[in-house]
C-alpha cells in the first residue's frame, strides 16, 4: 500500500539543515554537495532527524556519486549508478540526470517508480531546458520527479514536477516540503 511521502528539497548545507524543524519529513533530498568544504555529517543528521537523506557529492572528476542514508543514519547506498528503494510503499529511484540518456532510459521506465530523485551538475543557462525536459518526462511517465542542481560557484537549486507533468511551485528557494 502506498502512503504519502513528505519530501524536503533543500539547497541548505548540512550544518544549516541541522537547525531546521523537519519533524514531519520522511525524506530529505539535498542538492549536490562539493567534496571540499562541505562536511558530510549526514549520518548524524539522519539519525537525529529520524528521516532518510538522499543526495550526491561531486567528485574531483565532476562525476556525481549518489548517497542514501536511512532514518537510523546508516549508509544504504554510495555509488555512481541508479539505486531503487522503497519508502512507505513508494518505489523511489535515486539517480544522476545522465542516467536518463538512451538506452538506460527504458530500463528506468520499466522499474515503474513512484518518485525519481535526480541530481545534475549544470550551468544556469541550461536549467530552463532541463526543467522542460523533466516536466515532459513526469507527464509522459506519470511519475513524480524531484531534481537537484549544482551550479558554478557553489550555487544550488531544486525543482519538482508532479505525475501530471506540472511544475510544483515553492515559497522558499532554500528548503521546501513537498507531499508526494
Residues 114-140 have a mean pLDDT of 89
pLDDT per position as a tens digit, 49-63: 889 999 988 888 878
Task: Find the mean pLDDT for residues 114-141.
Answer: 89
Q: CA angle, 66 as apex, 155 and 135 as ends, to 5°? A: 65
Q: Where are the domains of the chain?
A: 6-179
pLDDT score recorded for residue 167: 93
Does this model's pTM top 0.85?
Answer: yes
| Distance in angstroms (rounded) separating the CA atoms of residues 108 and 123 | 25
The domain 6-179: what is its CATH number? 3.60.110.10
Alpha-helical segments (H) within 19-174: 42-49, 104-110, 124-141
- Asked which of 8-12, 120-124, 129-133, 156-160 is least confident by mean pLDDT, the reply is 120-124
Q: What is the pLDDT of residues 68-104, one digit of tens each?
A: 999 998 888 888 888 899 999 999 999 888 888 766 7
Grid cell at residue 78: 554510495
Task: Please answer whether residues 149 and 127 qualify as being in contact, where contact means their C-beta atoms are separated by less than 8 angstroms.
Answer: yes
Amino acid at each position: 500500500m502506498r502512503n504519502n511521502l513528505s519530501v524536503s528539497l533543500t539547497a541548505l548545507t548540512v550544518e544549516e539543515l541541522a537547525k531546521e524543524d523537519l519533524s514531519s519529513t520522511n525524506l530529505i533530498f539535498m542538492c549536490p554537495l562539493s567534496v571540499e568544504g562541505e562536511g558530510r555529517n549526514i549520518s548524524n543528521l539522519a539519525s537525529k532527524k529520524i528521516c532518510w537523506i538522499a543526495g550526491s557529492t561531486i567528485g574531483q572528476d565532476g562525476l556525481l556519486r549518489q548517497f542514501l542514508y536511512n532514518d537510523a543514519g546508516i549508509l544504504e547506498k554510495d555509488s555512481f549508478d541508479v539505486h531503487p528503494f522503497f519508502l512507505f510503499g513508494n518505489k523511489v529511484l535515486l539517480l544522476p540526470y545522465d542516467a536518463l540518456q538512451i538506452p538506460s532510459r527504458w530500463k528506468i521506465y520499466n522499474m515503474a517508480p513512484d518518485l525519481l530523485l535526480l541530481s545534475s551538475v549544470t550551468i544556469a543557462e541550461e536549467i530552463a531546458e532541463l526543467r522542460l525536459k523533466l516536466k515532459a518526462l513526469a507527464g509522459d511517465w506519470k511519475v513524480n520527479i524531484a531534481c537537484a542542481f549544482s551550479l558554478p560557484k557553489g550555487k544550488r537549486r531544486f525543482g519538482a514536477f508532479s505525475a501530471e507533468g506540472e511544475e510544483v511551485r515553492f515559497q522558499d528557494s532554500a528548503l521546501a516540503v513537498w507531499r508526494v
